[in-house]
C-alpha cells in the first residue's frame, strides 16, 4: 500500500512555504557562521598586528610612533568600516535596513577608531616616557595585546548588538 497524498491548493502552499522557510533558515545559519568567523578572524588579526606594531613602535622614535599609529588607525578604520559595511549588507539579506543606517554605522566606526587610536597612541607615548628602557618593550607589548583584545571584543559586541537591533 502506498502513501495516499491529497493535493489541495492550501496544502501545496503550506509545503512551498515550509520549503522556503527551510531554505531561508539555512541561509541565515550560513550568514551567522560567516559573522562569527569574521569575529574570530578580527580577534586573531588584532592580536597579531598588535604584537607586530608594538615591536615596530618600540624600535622607532616616539614622534614617529604617534604619527604612524594615527596613520594606521585611519587605514584600519577604513578597513573596519568596510568590514562593518559587509556585515551590514549580509544582515540586509535577512533584515531590511535602510542605506542611511548603514552610513551612520560606517561613520560611527570610522570616528570611534580614529578617536580611540589617537587616545591610545598618546597613552602609550606617555607610558613609554615614564617607563625605563628595560621594561619599555614588555610594557608596550602587553598593553597593546591587552588593549587589542579588549577593543576587538568590544567591537565584536558592538557589531553583534547592531546586528541584534537590525
To the nearest whole number, what is the mean pLDDT of the chain? 62
> Per-residue pLDDT for 130 more than 80?
no
User: What pLDDT sits at residue 1?
Assistant: 45
Please compute the mean of the pLDDT values over residues 41-53 and round it to a whole number: 59
pTM metric for this prediction:
0.35
Please compute the mean of the pLDDT values over residues 89-110 and round it to a whole number: 56
Taking CA atoms, 22 is separated from 28, 29, 89, 95, in Å, by 10, 11, 21, 17
The rounded distance, in Å, linking the Cα atoms of 137 and 91 is 41
> Per-residue pLDDT for 20 more than 80?
yes
Taking CA atoms, 5 is separated from 2, 11, 12, in Å, by 9, 10, 11
| Range ranked top by mean pLDDT from 18-32, 45-59, 85-99, 117-131 | 18-32
Amino acid at each position: 500500500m502506498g502513501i495516499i497524498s491529497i493535493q489541495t491548493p492550501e496544502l501545496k502552499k503550506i509545503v512551498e512555504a515550509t520549503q522556503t522557510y527551510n531554505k531561508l533558515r539555512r541561509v541565515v545559519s550560513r550568514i551567522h557562521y560567516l559573522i562569527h568567523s569574521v569575529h574570530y578572524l578580527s580577534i586573531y588579526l588584532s592580536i597579531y598586528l598588535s604584537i607586530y606594531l608594538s615591536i615596530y613602535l618600540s624600535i622607532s622614535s616616539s614622534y614617529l610612533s604617534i604619527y604612524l599609529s594615527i596613520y594606521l588607525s585611519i587605514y584600519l578604520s577604513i578597513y573596519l568600516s568596510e568590514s562593518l559595511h559587509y556585515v551590514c549588507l549580509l544582515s540586509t539579506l535577512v533584515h531590511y535596513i535602510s542605506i542611511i543606517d548603514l552610513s551612520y554605522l560606517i561613520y560611527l566606526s570610522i570616528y570611534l577608531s580614529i578617536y580611540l587610536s589617537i587616545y591610545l597612541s598618546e597613552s602609550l607615548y606617555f607610558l613609554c616616557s615614564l617607563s625605563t628602557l628595560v621594561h619599555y618593550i614588555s610594557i608596550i607589548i602587553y598593553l597593546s595585546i591587552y588593549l587589542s583584545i579588549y577593543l576587538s571584543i568590544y567591537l565584536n559586541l558592538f557589531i553583534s548588538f547592531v546586528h541584534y537591533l537590525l
